[in-house]
Structure 1
Amino acid sequence: MDVRVHSPGPADPFLGAQDLFTTEHDLALPVHVHVRTDPDSRTWSAHYDDRHVLNISRQTATSAMARPLALHEYSHMRRYEQSHPSHIQSTTEALTLALAGHSVERRRLVHCHQIANHMKDIYADDITLSVGPADRLVSFLESSLAGAIADRPVDPPRWTRLTPAADPEITAVNAAFALALLERHDCIADDHRLYDLAHAAANDAPGTDLAAFKHRFRELVDDPDESQYRQALVDATREYALQTGSAAD
């Protein structure tokens, strides 16, 4: 695995994440790390025929979240190289299939893309949590969900695509994702504060079945074929987008 930091900035977090990652996995293509000056720039990856690119803000690259975020992005790169359905199938095509014949408001369609991203993150973090510690991820998900419930911005940099100040319905789905991911890997005890936060999120969104979404995320099959993954995404999309009162034929 070849990691190259092309911008002025710390290299240690990315090389440290590389050391963890390569205990069990590898990447065929080199990883080019670009540290951006924009403090609001989210961490994201791009994939090309000859390389992967990891984009990260300087603020995040110098934070305690830099190494776990890099490890998370390496896991996405690995899923891409594996041609995992979650990372190569067209989300737009699956959503079009799921919502054919229905009229859905724009904000809810945006949320459906977020649900698809959560499913990608589940599969990426199956790798992440097999090689790295879960403590920073647990803390991040807890603080992010608490911030969303309180309807205020959250200071820590993004791990996944949980949205601060989101409306109650997608916040409930975000809570379901957080619990599902951590339960899937036995990362939290039954009395963890995340359960109280998720209960509060569910109470704020009575039309969203948090337990059902948690089950969907947690029970995603380890190695789906294209048809299985497409159907899982279609079913999750329909459950969210076509809730009573949220869509019209």
Structure 2
Amino acid sequence: MLTAVVDRTRGDGADRVRQVFEDVERRLARHRVRVERPVSVEIVRLPIMGATTSKPSGHTLYVSAGAPDSDMLDGLLAHEMGHMLLTESGHPSHAPRVIQRIWRSVRLPDRGREAFGQAYNHVQDIYADDLAFLADLQDRAYGFFANWIRGNAASNPGDRWKRAGLSASSGFALGNLARHGLLDEDDDLWIVARDADRKAGISTVDRYASFYAVLPKDPGADPFVSSMEELVRLLETSAGPRGKSRTF
């Protein structure tokens, strides 16, 4: 239930955000999916498109100042609503106790923990998009993730953990498209991502793509933690021998 939309930037985007939010709600309702807790939206200046904080009393969705004018606003709102739904349902990927259990057990250097944090965010995004795609976003998802992969390929690979993180990020985008039947085996995006890996001296993007594509939709806590062990090992492989450290 949407309770308020406030534009902290003093712009005029509140009405459009409300209209699109309610439209996405209707699309999800056709699949008997609905956010139960109250939702307030704040339009603020952010370096990213949006983010959500959740409490038992409700959710606060922060939308960037440019988002109301974007043709991907419905995708952003559906994605963030996916995170809300997963939080409300206690899905392991969004359950605080499970997340704490995972983080307490990760033994990586600071840069490795940063890379794992980003890769884990993508795990949460996979599950959020499983719900967001119910809002009929397939027609624009390919273009969005194609730009994502090409942007990663154009980035400076940096140190070994940055290389691992970029490979994981592109693997997430590929895996997400494949998960929803939007990526052929001979798609040029595979070439773009593999070339970026090759230039960085690694070859793990296919393994990341496979990992994200087949994440079980409704795992128990223990199997989910086990799958995160696999993700840590994959990051260590990407980072190279000096990145190896005891995990879990």
Tell me the TM-score normalised to structure 1 length.
Answer: 0.84
Offset, 1:30 = 1.6
Q: In 2, are the aligned partners of 1:173 and 1:208 still within 8 Å (CA)?
A: no
User: Is 1:96 paired with 2:104?
Assistant: yes
Q: Deviations over 1:22-54 (max 9, x none)?
A: 221111112111111x25254101111221111
| 1:146 corresponding residue in structure 2 | 150
Offset, 1:223 = 1.0
| 1:247 corresponding residue in structure 2 | 244
Instruction: Choose from 37, 43, 47 the match for 1:35.
Output: 43
Aligned residues: 231
What does 1:161-240 align with in structure 2 at a 5 Å threshold?
167-240=162-235
Q: Which moved more, 1:87-96 or 1:39-48?
A: 87-96
Offset, 1:182 = 1.0
| 1:137 corresponding residue in structure 2 | 141
Matched to 1:169, the amino acid is: A
User: Is 1:59 paired with 2:56?
Assistant: no
CA distance in 1, matches of 2:177, 2:3: 28
Deviating 4+ runs (over 6 angstroms)? none
Q: How has the CA–CA distance of structure 1 residues 248 and 221 changed in structure 2, closer, same or farther, with 3 Å as cutoff?
A: closer
CA distance in 2, matches of 1:130, 1:68: 11
| 1:82 corresponding residue in structure 2 | 89
Matched to 1:127, the amino acid is: L
SS at match of 1:144: helix
Offset, 1:176 = 1.1
CA distance in 2, matches of 1:118, 1:39: 19
Matched to 1:236, the amino acid is: L
Q: In 2, are the aligned partners of 1:98 and 1:238 still within 8 Å (CA)?
A: no
SS at match of 1:54: strand
Runs of 5+ unmatched residues, structure 1: 153-165
SS at match of 2:66: helix
Q: How has the CA–CA distance of structure 1 residues 206 and 45 changed in structure 2, closer, same or farther, with 3 Å as cutoff?
A: same
Tell me the TM-score normalised to structure 2 length.
Answer: 0.84
Q: In 2, are the aligned partners of 1:145 and 1:171 still within 8 Å (CA)?
A: no
Q: Deviations over 1:73-126 (max 9, x none)?
A: 011111111100000145353133132xxxx33222111001111111111111
Runs of 5+ unmatched residues, structure 2: none
Offset, 1:201 = 2.3
| 1:160 corresponding residue in structure 2 | none
Offset, 1:146 = 0.9
Q: In 2, are the aligned partners of 1:94 and 1:230 still within 8 Å (CA)?
A: yes
Q: In 1, are the aligned partners of 2:153 and 2:193 still within 8 Å (CA)?
A: no
Identity of aligned residues (%): 23
Q: Deviations over 1:155-185 (max 9, x none)?
A: xxxxxxxxxxx94322211111111111111
Say which structure is richer in helix. 2
Matched to 1:207, the amino acid is: I
